[in-house]
Chain A
């Protein structure tokens, strides 16, 4: 017979009701505080896995990042691990091509990476000829002209952004 399932009127501790109430209230406040602490803990992640914690397969895919891996933010590491998962599906040429660009991409500033993603998406809204033409034009430009263009683009983007 399970004693726990029976009413136990005489097993109640003989505590004055006020003290019991205060104790239960304290316990609830403690539980609530623990829950909040857990939330903040869950939101603020650690620094992610260290280089020597990666699997050999992940290390092979992300080899160009080995030097800077331990300094990357946790979210950035998660993103690269996601890329490393797709890496084995590539052909040997594809793997070589990706690794050659990987280190260069990781060296970009966060702002440059955001611009690269934006321009990449914009480039693929154009037919191949227009895309290649834009690349050729850009590579033929002198540095100061490139800077001028970039500045103009920044101003246009600021103008296009909704006023706050």
Chain B
């Protein structure tokens, strides 16, 4: 009897044995299986829902990792929204500051200049300046 034939015969014997089990044994086996599964379910940590967009590495165990990042994951979909909002405010603030600095530098120069303010503030003076520009070679 070669190895394959031996394996086949063992399988046959086991299958026949299983089929011959009486219903009480089958019932007990099923109950034991159900009890074991229930115990396993109770012992395992509670299911933790993770957001589709999560900040931690996808493979990291959710509860075993540091508590510091937990609140970030708790934010779920609000986290990218929060980041976007902070980004918008930062850009807006930066642009406004740059514009204020530009105006301050320009006004400082206008105030230090000797040219008459009432002329500068008049659009007609702008027309005269343009005319001077055309004369200039």
- Contact yes or no, B129 A42, CB < 8 A: no
Residues facing B in A119-141 (CB within 8 A) are: 119-123, 125-127, 130-131, 133-135, 137-139, 141
Q: How far is the CA of A53 from the CA of B105 in the complex (A)?
A: 24
Whether, in the assembled complex, B7 has its beta carbon less than 8 Å from a beta carbon of chain A, the answer is: no
| Minimal Cβ-Cβ distance residue in A for B43 | A9
Q: Which residues of B lie under 8 Å from residue A101 when comparing CB positions?
A: 110-111, 117
- B116 contacts the other chain (Cβ, under 8 Å)? yes
Q: Is the CB of A28 within 8 A of B46?
A: no
- Check if A7 is an interface residue, CB within 8 A of chain B: yes
Q: Which chain B residues border A130 with CB–CB below 8 Å? A: 132-133, 135-136
Instruction: Output the least CB separation between B50 and chain A (Å).
Output: 12
Chain B residues, CB < 8 A from A150:
122-124, 127
Asked if A75 is at the interface of the complex by the 8 Å CB criterion, the answer is yes
* Chain A residues closer than 8 Å to B126, beta-carbon distance: 115, 118-119, 122, 153
Which listed residue, B78, B92, B123, touches A115 by the CB 8 Å rule? B123
In the bound assembly, the distance between CA atoms of A137 and B123 in angstroms comes to 14
Is there contact, CB below 8 Å, between B127 and A149?
yes
Number of interface residues of B (CB under 8 A): 57
Q: Quick one: which of A14-63 are within 8 Å of B by CB?
A: 17, 21, 24, 27-29, 31-32, 35-36, 38-39, 42-43
Q: How far is the CA of A100 from the CA of B46 in the complex (A)?
A: 75
Residues of chain B lying within 8 A (CB to CB) of residue A80: 104
**Which segment of B14-22, B29-37, B52-60, B81-89 sits at the interface?**
B81-89
Docked-complex contact A113 and B121, CB < 8 angstroms? yes
Give 1 or 0 for each of B46-69: 1 = CB within 8 Å of chain A CB: 110100000000000101101100
Binding site for B on A (CB under 8 A): 4-9, 12, 17, 21, 24, 27-29, 31-32, 35-36, 38-39, 42-43, 75, 78-80, 82-83, 86, 90, 94, 97-98, 101-102, 104-105, 108, 112-113, 115-123, 125-127, 130-131, 133-135, 137-139, 141, 145-154, 156-157
- Listed in ascending order, the chain B residues whose CB lies under 8 Å from chain A are 43-47, 49, 61, 63-64, 66-67, 74-78, 81-82, 85-86, 88-89, 92-93, 96, 100-101, 103-104, 106-113, 115-117, 119-133, 135-136
